[in-house]
Amino acid sequence: MECEFPTVNSNPEEMREIFESVKTIAILGLSPNESKASHMVAKYLQNAGYKIVPVYPKEEAILGEKVYRSLAEIPFEVDMVDIFRKPAAFDAIADACIARGDIKVFWGQLGLVNNAAAQKAKDAGMKVVQNHCSKIEHRALFGS
């Protein structure tokens, strides 16, 4: 697998603005397994005061929240997507975000980069973060 260097990305000041403005975060690929990074990050964000929305192909509830199978199924406004999926899925995710029209932030987790999808999201008016962990960045900006 070839690793891509993120050419579309937010800086720390933009990340601060993101965390200060978003309230609802859809976690794409949120595992029910407590030892997985997606679960630990979602739990941290939930404890930091954000409403998390699990998007996962199985389970009925994760971290006490109803699980949705896709972004399109979520019946309320979502501010940000936090993506724990392979970069190849980012194009379809960007399209789903654009179709919804309410997503303000397209966030690809640590190690995940897809510049074409990121540019598509940015061109649609979203702020984009790639190859950064939302838990690590939030903790660095606001403390634990």
Q: What is the mean pLDDT of each run of 10 residues along the chain (144 residues)?
A: 70 93 98 97 98 97 98 98 96 98 97 95 96 96 85
Give the separation between CA 130 and CA 3, rounded to whole angstroms. 12
26 touches 45 (CB < 8 A): no
Sequence-separated (6 or more) residues with CB below 8 Å from residue 132: 9, 15, 107, 108, 109, 110
Query: pTM for the complete prediction?
Result: 0.94
Split into its structural domains, the chain has a count of 1
Determine the pLDDT at residue 1. Answer: 42
Q: Does 45 reside within a domain?
A: yes
Kindly state whether residue 122 falls inside one of the protein's structural domains. yes
Distance CA 47, CA 86 (A): 26
CATH of the domain at 27: 3.40.50.720
Are 8 and 122 within 8 A, CB to CB? yes
Q: Does residue 131 sit within a domain?
A: yes
- Indicate whether 34 belongs to any domain: yes
Residue 1 lies inside a defined structural domain of this protein: no
Alpha-carbon distance 30 to 130, whole Å?
Answer: 17
The maximal CA–CA distance of the chain, rounded, in angstroms, is 37
Query: Has residue 6 been placed in a domain?
Result: no
In a domain? residue 4: no
Determine the structural domain holding residue 90 and report its residue range.
Answer: 12-142
Q: Is residue 80 part of a domain?
A: yes
